[in-house]
Amino acid sequence: MVRAANRSRAVLVSLLLSVGCGGNRSAVISPSDAAEQVESPDDMVPPDCRPSCDGLACGPDGCRGTCGACPGSEICDDSGQCVPPPCKTSKDCPAGLVCLKETGQCVGCIGDEDCPDEYECGADHECHEKHPCQSDKDCQQFDQVCDKTLGECVECLGPEGCELEQFCEGGFCLPDVCAAGERKCVGMQAEECAADGSGWNVGQVCAEAETCIDGGCVECVCVPAQAYCEGDLLKTCAEDCMSVQSEKDCADDDMHCFDGQCIPTICTPGVILCKDSWTLQACQADGMGFDETACEAPKYCSGGQCLDPVCEAGKPMCIGAVATKCNELGSGPAGGGTDCGASGFPCEDGECVECNPQCQGKECGSDGCGGSCGACGSGLECTDGKCLPPGTECVDGNDTPWDGCTGGKISEFQVNSFVEKDQNGPPAVATFFDGRFVIAWSSSDANSMGVSGRLFGPDGEPLGKELQFNTYVESNQTAPAVGTLPSGGFVAVWESDGQDGVAAGVFGQRFGADGSKLGPEFQVNSLANGSEMAPAVASLANGGFVVTYVSGLDGDGTGIAGQVFDAQGAKQGAEFQVNGFAKGVQQGPDVVGLAGGGFAVAWYGCTALFDCGNGNREISARFFAASGVPAGTDILVNTWTENKQWEVAISRTGDSELVVAWGGSMHQDGSFSGIFGQLLNGDGSMKGTEFQVNDYTPKNQSAPSVASIGNGGFVATWTSEIVGEDYDVQFRLFGDGGVPSGQYQCASVCTTGYQGGSRVASFPNGNFVIAWASKNQDGSGLGIFAQRFKPDGTKIYK
């Protein structure tokens, strides 16, 4: 091997550097060049701009002009030079050369098979004759040294064997790719040249609100392409997020700048409206704001006026023969009530009178006149007037309630075996591919509250006793979330009070398939400022998992943070911020793993479009790669923006589509709060329009949860306020496209008292299980109950 080969390699590497590593791409243009090529108004080019083309054969001249075009098929590289286009296959190369597809360059060889016998392919992609050696003496005639490990002559064994501006690779001295310590930007990555000049290392990936300039990340001053107001000046942010692309004075058109627009007013001066049920707001004289006035108690606001109540809030009243009560405003009767006339009785003072108790054949339950036919003992539930084990239903083929029925089956079942004190919801539920499932909840332990869980087999029978998830037992451990892992085990996370040394923190524990603990309890959050709470967890396609939670990481109020873990429970990368908009309050995250390996997070809180000072909360979502790097910006999910949207849930409906459901939406369903949803495509775009989930609309609907049932469909469950202290767990099925498959159904057999805080998870075959908290059903305070269903909503009996 001779120095001529060195010169050919230098030419080759220089050419490689000039073409870059674009594969099949056309000309490489730097971010600054790209910014200069964006169309902009003429007045954005300074009148004294002087084109700069020194040493450049092509590309932009810095004044919206060009330094020249490349001849023939040549392309312009990022250094302003014309170079041959990259090859796609070896057919594109001259005779005797092959295509190195990684760089798009024609080279002498890629492997030894491209070289003649007794020759080998070097790091410079040229063929070189082999010279065996045992010592450096054997290599002197070739101006080389002996690599005694290989037993061959080489140009270098390390950097000391090469000249300045060269590095040693594979026994060859190659020209430096870059100057040691040099920095540059590649998109949103800041890169630094290695100490030996052999290539570029990624130093930092710029955050969402940053851009890369001169090899460093700097904070953006505005959002690219977004319009904003400075006084009455309407400005549009340039693509570099550091400068103004255009500017307009709204005052020139006798208008005002508001929310990124030139508008005459935001309201009609002098008009008086109701902000909410207790507050008047009057449009100011300039039409650009409101003056608010609270109605004096007990008056309420309606039609832009403070009105006196027509009845006492909450007081029983009669509307004809219907017994009801006055609503919370005092403006009239509340929805629902009891039709006394249907039973042949009149209504007086909000009650049905002259009632004959009906207890024949009944052991328990209402006597129809406000009294009771008896109470059931511990562990039994009153169903159709009989004291029965929880979840027992009659299936003897007739509609006569418990007429000597012998065909009872169990569908609803009790999850907790420890019944002392309260077992608090909402529970967490997750399913395994083999039909098993796990349910977790907050339970009373030696020090107030702890986290308990239980595994169940495919037949719905428990696999062993209750498990205590938390090891640290000081103070409270609450709000559990669980996720199953491809290994057959599962991970649980929860909120722990004081464990991280400040206040609320997030902790977790991994478990094997049999429920045994794998390793110690671990802390999820890195920042500990007392705001870390409300965790959610999802498994990832690579065997790991991601945890999201409320955190003070974004520096303004509360935000949403996340942490990625591998399959062994080791943190992957640093704790990261989920929400892009960081002002005000962000709360209640939910997370779902994606088929492609990433994940999506949904939450409720303040957004850039709406004033949080008015109490507004909106639903946001964001997509991430499996590493935790954002795959886009915040997505505003809800269309209806009045009042507060909150209590969000997210699930996949297929390989690439998602459903987001939320509660709140006061009066949107024509009553109080309802449940609404929106489908998302895999790229974050909306699929269809926002839709109403609940079809039972009296009173409040809250706490939604969603899960896939296959073929693009899903099931949604929520808590429904019925009357008085009665709350039911309802669910409804939806097909592909969010089309409802029938009306709502009750998940619980027990329908008296409180059943709420439901959560749902589905199996690969479309079956699903719903778990919830039920008051007094287990004989002592709150207990946890569950029921399994088929994809069509029919119950699965034991």
DSSP code per residue over 567-613: TTS-EEEEEEE--S--SSBEEEEEEEE-TTS-EEEEEEE-BTTB-GG
CA neighbor of 37 nearest in space, from 48, 27, 47: 27
Q: What pLDDT does 389 receive?
A: 65
Between vectors from CA 351 to CA 350 and to CA 357, what angle results, nearest 5°? 170
- The residue-averaged pLDDT of 603-616 equals 78
- Tokens for 367, please give them: 């006597």
- Tokens for 649, please give them: 């849930």
202 half-sphere exposure, CB direction, 13 A CA radius: 7
- Which sign does the torsion angle of CA 521, 525, 530, 534 carry? negative
Q: How confident is the model at residue 102 (pLDDT cuts 50, 70, 90)?
A: confident
Q: What pLDDT does 8 receive?
A: 36
- Across 107-111, 381-385, 429-433, least confident range: 381-385
Q: What is the mean pLDDT of the chain?
A: 85
Residue with tokens 């054949």: 361
| Cα–Cα distance list, 361 to 180, 752, 767 (Å) | 92, 20, 37
CA pair distance 525, 527, nearest whole angstrom:
6
- Tokens for 659, please give them: 């459903």
The residues facing 100 across adjacent strands are: 105
Backbone angles phi, psi at 735, to 5 degrees: -90, -170
- For 212-271, write each residue's pLDDT tens digit: 888 888 888 888 888 888 888 999 988 888 888 889 998 898 888 877 888 887 777 887
- Stated as kind and residue range, the H or E segment containing 62 is none
Between vectors from CA 557 to CA 556 and to CA 561, what angle results, nearest 5°? 80
Q: Any residues with CB less than 8 A from the CB of 641 and at least 6 apart, and which? A: 609, 610, 616, 618
- Tokens for 719, please give them: 């808590």
- Stated as kind and residue range, the H or E segment containing 524 is none
- For 542-575, write each residue's pLDDT tens digit: 999 999 999 988 888 899 999 999 999 999 999 9
Query: Strand, coil or helix: what is 5?
Result: helix
Give the dihedral of Cα atoms 297, 301, 305, 308; nearest 10 deg: -50
- For 27-66, write each residue's pLDDT tens digit: 333 333 433 343 444 445 566 778 888 888 898 887 878 8
Q: What pLDDT does 46 receive?
A: 62
Q: How confident is the model at residue 446 (pLDDT cuts 50, 70, 90)?
A: low
For residue 362, pLDDT over 90 is answered with no
Beta-sheet pairing, 676-680 with 658-664:
antiparallel
Q: How confident is the model at residue 791 (pLDDT cuts 50, 70, 90)?
A: very high
- For 638-670, write each residue's pLDDT tens digit: 988 777 888 999 999 988 899 999 997 666 766
Q: What pLDDT does 320 receive?
A: 74
- For 512-550, write each residue's pLDDT tens digit: 999 999 999 999 999 888 779 999 999 999 999 999 999
* Backbone φ/ψ region at 161: left (φ over 0), alpha (ψ -120 to 50), beta: alpha
- For 686-727, write each residue's pLDDT tens digit: 999 999 999 887 788 999 999 999 999 999 999 998 876 789
Contact call for residues 33 and 78 (beta carbons, < 8 A): yes
CA pair distance 530, 538, nearest whole angstrom:
23
For residue 64, count CB atoms less than 10 angstroms from its CB and return exposed for 0-12, middle for 13-18, buried for 19 or more: middle
The verdict on whether omega for the bond into residue 298 sits within 30 degrees of 0, i.e. cis, is yes
CA pair distance 93, 107, nearest whole angstrom:
8
Q: What pLDDT does 697 receive?
A: 77
For residue 399, pLDDT over 60 is answered with no
Residue with tokens 């054997």: 138
Tell me, letter by letter, the H, E, C secondary structure of 749-791.
CCCCCEEEEEEEEECCCCCEEEEEEEECCCCCCEEEEEEEECC
- Tokens for 444, please give them: 């009373």
CA pair distance 81, 176, nearest whole angstrom:
19
Contact call for residues 762 and 735 (beta carbons, < 8 A): no
Backbone angles phi, psi at 430, to 5 degrees: -145, 150
- For 164-188, write each residue's pLDDT tens digit: 889 998 888 999 989 888 998 888 8
CA pair distance 770, 717, nearest whole angstrom:
8
- Tokens for 202, please give them: 């990624």
Tell me, letter by letter, the H, E, C secondary structure of 327-369.
CCCCCCECCCCEEHHHHCCCEECCEECCCCCCCCCCCCCECCC
Query: Strand, coil or helix: what is 80?
Result: coil
Contact call for residues 83 and 96 (beta carbons, < 8 A): no
- Across 5-9, 205-209, 407-411, 506-510, least confident range: 5-9
Q: What pLDDT does 588 receive?
A: 96
Neighbours of 557 (CB within 10 A): 16
Q: How many residues are there in the chain?
A: 798
CA neighbor of 21 nearest in space, from 59, 72, 65, 78: 78
Q: What pLDDT does 20 receive?
A: 36
Q: How confident is the model at residue 751 (pLDDT cuts 50, 70, 90)?
A: low
Query: Strand, coil or helix: what is 489?
Result: coil
The DSSP symbol for 507 reads: E
CA pair distance 74, 80, nearest whole angstrom:
12
Q: What pLDDT does 208 receive?
A: 80
pTM, rounded to two decimals: 0.55
